[in-house]
Amino acid sequence: MTTVALLADPPRPGLVLPALAETSPLTEAECADFYSAMLKDAARAVERSGGELLVNYRPDDLLPDEHVTDTASEAEVRALVAEALQDPSEARYEPQVGSTLSARAGNTVSHLLREEGVQSVAVVRGNVPFLPRTVVDSAAMKLRSTPTILGPSTEGRVYYAAFADTLDFDEAFTDPEVETLTERALDAGHEVDFVAMHPTVETGEDLLTALPALTARKRAGRLVPDHVSQFLGETGLAVVHEDGESRVTRR
């Protein structure tokens, strides 16, 4: 069984998806709601898979001072994830450790593999609008023979990174992440394989990829993430094409 560490920030306006608020029609408050929707759908996908959900939250002492509130980060994340799960008691919660994404992800993976003796660990971000449970299960199958499995995203990023052995995580999530992580794995003597590509959302430009894909799946009657689909329906976001250019607007 793969332990899936879902990296989670408390969904506070201005803290999560700040670049999206600056480059899309969404306000900071709406970006926080969008992040909440993606995080809940990701947690639900892991629960439905054969993986073990570990919610790896960013604690208050790792948050910028302006985003620390009277509500503890752990409590806010716990309440949010619990809304999405059929059995909230099955999820584990652990604080992130480290000042950068590479450090936080690396510390989590190394601790679980070395100290807790788990067979494999995956790291998934909270800004993936569509994370099928089949990705978790497919990566777990591949990990039986390949120590590093990556889920590529747009612009060289990764949305999913799974490991059956450790590697040098120092600045391992440096852009382009998929290349950097591959090189680190090869340097450690690991083979590398990949699961299906899925978009992550950090900027308005990312919506140009994510929105049409989600809309098409919904219209075709295929599986879509419940919370993200509801959010998009409420905000009316859509991609329009005018004068040879694409842009995100509200219906």
Q: Which helix (H) or strand (E) holds 215?
A: helix 204-219
Nearest-angstrom CA–CA distance, 162 and 158: 11
Structure tokens, 218: 């919904």
Residue 244 has a pLDDT of: 84
Please write the tens of the pLDDT for every residue from 89-129. 999 999 999 999 999 999 999 999 999 999 999 999 999 99
- pLDDT block averages, 10 residues each, the chain of length 251: 96 98 97 98 97 97 96 98 96 96 97 95 96 96 97 97 97 97 98 97 96 93 94 93 90 82
Nearest-angstrom CA–CA distance, 95 and 121: 16
Please write the tens of the pLDDT for every residue from 27-53. 999 999 999 999 999 999 999 999 999
H helices within 164-203, ranges in order? Answer: 177-187
DSSP structural state of residue 92: E
Residue 116 has a pLDDT of: 94
> CB pairs under 8 A, 24+ apart, for 176-184?
178/150, 178/152, 178/153, 181/148, 181/150, 182/148, 182/150
Residue 1 has a pLDDT of: 86
Task: Calculate the average pLDDT of the chain.
Answer: 96
